[in-house]
Structures are given as C-alpha cells and as structure tokens.
Amino acid sequence: MSKYWSPVVHGLTPYVPGEQPKLANLVKLNTNENPYGPSPKVIAALQAEAAETLRLYPDPNSDKLKATIAEYHGLHSNQVFVGNGSDEVLAHIFHALFQHKDSLLFPDITYSFYPVYCGLYGIQAQTIPLNEGFEIVVDDYMRPNGGIIFPNPNAPTGIPLAMSEIERLLKVNTESVVVIDEAYVDFGTESAVKLVNTYPNLLVTHTFSKARSLAGLRVGFALGHPDLIEALIRVKDSFNSYPIDRFAEAGAVAAMQDVSYFEETCAKVIATRQYLTTQLNLLGFTVLPSGANFIFARHHAYEGSVLAEKLRAHNIIIRHFKKPARISPYLRITIGTDAQADCLIEAFRSILEF
C-alpha cells in the first residue's frame, strides 16, 4: 500500500499465473503448454529475423500476420485483431466492449483472468453457475447483459459446448458482444469462427500459445466484425502501438503456414489425452470429457491438494485450484508426451499403492 498509488490499484486482485519453476528434470504439466516444440519452420523464421532489422520498429499494424490469419480462416484482414498473447487481446476486449451499465456474464468456474479484468476496468460482472455436470447452460445467459464471455472448451474443466448451443445463444442475444475464448479449440472442439460472418456481435479469440506451441512468443488474436475490430484497434493504439515485435510476427506467420505440423502435433496430443484418460479411469479417477490439451480429474478417495503435493515429491507438477470448493477435489493435468503420461501413471500407481 502506498499513498502514491492511483485509487484503482488499491482494489486490484491480480491474476496468479501457474508456476514456471526454475528446476530442471520436472515433468511440467501445470500450464497447458504444448510438449512438442514449435514447427522447425518457426525456428528458421526466427533465426532469419535475428538480423540488422531489429534496430527498426516492427509494423504497428502487423499486416502480414493479419493477412496470414485471415487467409487461414477464410476472412478479411479487417476482421482480425492481433495482440501480445490472447491475454492482452482479452484485456482490450474488456476495455473496449464490456464497459456498460448492465453486468458482464461469465461462468462461475472459468478462466480466472476474467474477474481480474473486471477489477481493472471497473466492469460489473455476474457469474452464472455451471450445472452439476460442470457444463455451461446457455439458457442461463439469456437475460439482459452488458456482454457475455466464456471459453470453449471451458477452462479449467475442458468441457466443450456444442456449436448449436452457441448459435442458439447468438440468435437471442443480439444487443451485446458475445466472446468465445477458443484458446484450446484446436484439440478437438468445434470452432465458432464459421459464425463470425453471420453474427456482427460475435468475437472469437485464439492463441498461438497452445496448439502452435508458442507460449513464449506471446501472440493471440480475435476474429469478428470490422466494427468490433476497430474498437480494439482504437484501444490498442491508445496503449501500445507495437504489441507484436518482429520475432513474434515472423514466428507466428510461419506457424500459421505450417498446417501439417500443426495438425500432426494436435493429433498426437489428442491421442495421448485418450490414453491418459483410460489409464486414470483404471486407477479410480473420474475424468471430465475434454476438448482441450488438459484434463480435469478427481480421485474417489484422495483430496486434490494431497495428490498435487504427493506428485510434486515425484517431480511432477500439475495445477490444483483450492477455490471454489466444488472444484477443489480436481486436478488439472496438461497433456504432455506419451512418456510424460507414463511417468504420471507410474507416480499415481505408487501414491495410490495400486
């Protein structure tokens, strides 16, 4: 606390990211990174970029990246907004599109950055409980609101929501912006991008951090109607003209263009998710259906916090959320390689004395 702080700072409860431990030899399954490195073409593009041009500012409009993303998704460049990770894109969305009189709606169990942005930008929020099966019920969002946001698949549950349900919501909710945060969509969940040309109040956000294995590069984007994109550009250009540096643009373009590497590595993650789910079921875990690169699982006999601590003694880190109470029995486990899955299964066998 300091008398020099702006008033808003006193009331902030910042987001706490998953641990990035400095220790070597850890099986790191706690922050949903991709176990396979980025495409070799990305590495080549980054090396080519490490040249004399670094003394020059990057393109403030990231035109090449926007054109590449637009082409991949069959849209126009003016329907694309890019930012320094999808977290920054989301921050601009909250700032530009959710500061209204009516409350913003999002699930009670979801990405925990959403309430943080509400605190930062003074946005009233109303959380909508997931049902008993931890599913989003779209009928509960059909009420007056200043905006709606949820991830699909949801985090940290991993449960996907059917596209027909999203469309049912969009048909009714025409007076505020609906944001579908598709950070994990490429691991087997249907994307709402195909609805962007039909619903002018729909924004879909994506990231290069997960399926394209570039969490360290910090690139994310939003797709939507040019009017929504313009609002984001206004906020961005009132904040930082150059959120995408030269490396980020070169690497992200190369990643987007290497479709076969992307498809191959996503398929591997999905296969390992299936394998791990089957093995955990055999060990007495309930695993929620996942359309993401992580699973949410609970053991019938052990508390989540106890298992998390015991796994750490085996040099394995996963994510455990103490709150809200209804998710505290669960562990969120990132899908790694098959070898990492085997390591985890072995550790559980030893902990559970199977």
Ligand X SMILES: Cc1ncc(COP(=O)(O)O)c(C=O)c1O
Q: Which residues bind ligand X (CB under 6 A)?
A: 32, 85-87, 111, 151, 155, 181, 183, 207, 209, 215, 220
Neighbour tally for 233: CB within 10 Å: 16
Alpha-carbon gap, residue 250 to 317, rounded angstroms: 32
Q: Which is nearer to ligand X, 215 or 351 (CB)?
A: 215
CB of 233 to ligand X, least distance (A): 18
Alpha-carbon gap, residue 147 to 143, rounded angstroms: 10
Alpha-carbon gap, residue 154 to 111, rounded angstroms: 8
Q: Which is nearer to ligand X, 200 or 216 (CB)?
A: 216
Q: Which is nearer to ligand X, 18 or 284 (CB)?
A: 18
Q: Which of 209, 192, 218 lies closest to 83, judged by CA?
A: 218
CB of 237 to ligand X, least distance (A): 20
Q: Which is nearer to ligand X, 296 or 302 (CB)?
A: 296
Neighbour tally for 324: CB within 10 Å: 11
Alpha-carbon gap, residue 142 to 175, rounded angstroms: 11
CB of 320 to ligand X, least distance (A): 15
Q: What are phi and psi of 270, to 5 degrees?
A: -65, -40
CB of 3 to ligand X, least distance (A): 33
CB of 32 to ligand X, least distance (A): 6
CB of 101 to ligand X, least distance (A): 26
CB of 290 to ligand X, least distance (A): 13
CB of 149 to ligand X, least distance (A): 10
Paired strand residues for 316 = 27
Compute CA distances 105 → 148, 173, 228, 271, whole Å.
5, 12, 18, 34
Compute CA distances 27 → 150, 305, 347, whole Å.
29, 18, 11
Alpha-carbon gap, residue 254 to 240, rounded angstroms: 24
Contact 299, 273 (CB under 8 A): no
Residue 218 tokens, joined: 């910090």
Residue 24 tokens, joined: 């070597």
Q: Which is nearer to ligand X, 184 or 302 (CB)?
A: 184
Q: Which is nearer to ligand X, 16 or 24 (CB)?
A: 16
Q: Which is nearer to ligand X, 119 or 284 (CB)?
A: 119
Q: Which is nearer to ligand X, 112 or 176 (CB)?
A: 112
Helix ranges (H only) for the chain are 7-10, 40-49, 63-73, 85-97, 113-121, 163-172, 226-236, 246-257, 259-282, 304-313, 338-351
CB of 245 to ligand X, least distance (A): 15
Q: Which is nearer to ligand X, 111 or 285 (CB)?
A: 111
Residue type, 91: A
Alpha-carbon gap, residue 341 to 67, rounded angstroms: 38
Q: Which is nearer to ligand X, 145 or 157 (CB)?
A: 157
Beta strands 125-128 and 104-107, pairing class: parallel
CB of 207 to ligand X, least distance (A): 3
